[in-house]
Amino acid sequence: MQNALPESVDFLKQVERDARYDGVWPVRQLLRLKPSLLSDGGDISAQLTFTTRAGVPCLDGRVQADLQLECQRCLETVTTHVEGGFHFGLVTSEDEMALLPEEFEPLLVSQGEQSLIDVIEDELILSLPLVPRHEHDCSQLLKEQETDRKEEDTYKPFAGLKDLMTDS
């Protein structure tokens, strides 16, 4: 079993330590993500690295989870693997944001502890599919509609006109 992630850390101190976190966090505790889910069971997994690159304190991360979403075709539960990654340049003011190299997305931090889980939750929310759905025909209703469409394609309402035209 992986370690539980800390809820909050001092981002700038973690950069000084070249800290690395590899752990899990329960989905049920991600309050902003919960409204998008049908079930809040399971865990998210995250790998986070605080370091300095090109003289910029940064946070690199990768998050993933198997989430229970509502299929937008059949309205049943679909388990969707969601993952995302980020490369944040840690800045302490808006002036520093302008100086940040383009390879980094700015993350405004302050002295003291900040929520690590909020950063992870934000990435998961951004990684959710726009239209969750099963990869196959997912309900009996859809299969029946497909069968009805095939039957409609074989019905030719003007086929009798051909016989009328040849009789004249």
pLDDT in tens, 99-152: 888 889 999 998 889 999 999 999 999 999 998 988 877 766 666 766 666 655
Q: Both tokens of residue 28?
A: 């049920």
pLDDT in tens, 8-46: 999 999 999 999 999 999 999 999 999 999 898 899 999
pLDDT in tens, 43-82: 999 999 999 998 999 999 999 999 999 998 888 888 999 9
> Is the sign of the CA dihedral 139, 141, 144, 146 positive or negative?
negative
For residue 67, give Cα distances in angstroms to 45, 75, 121, 129: 12, 15, 13, 11
Are 27 and 33 contacting, i.e. CB atoms less than 8 angstroms apart?
A: yes
Residues 6+ apart with CB under 8 A from 61: 46, 47, 48, 49, 85, 86, 88, 119, 120, 123
Instruction: Answer left, alpha or beta for residue 42, where phi above 0 means left and psi between -120 and 50 means alpha.
Output: left
For residue 6, give Cα distances in angstroms to 26, 57, 62, 145: 12, 20, 16, 50
Are 132 and 69 contacting, i.e. CB atoms less than 8 angstroms apart?
A: yes
pTM of the model: 0.75
Amino acid at 113: E
Compute the half-sphere exposure of residue 147: CA atoms within 13 Å on the CB side of its CA.
6
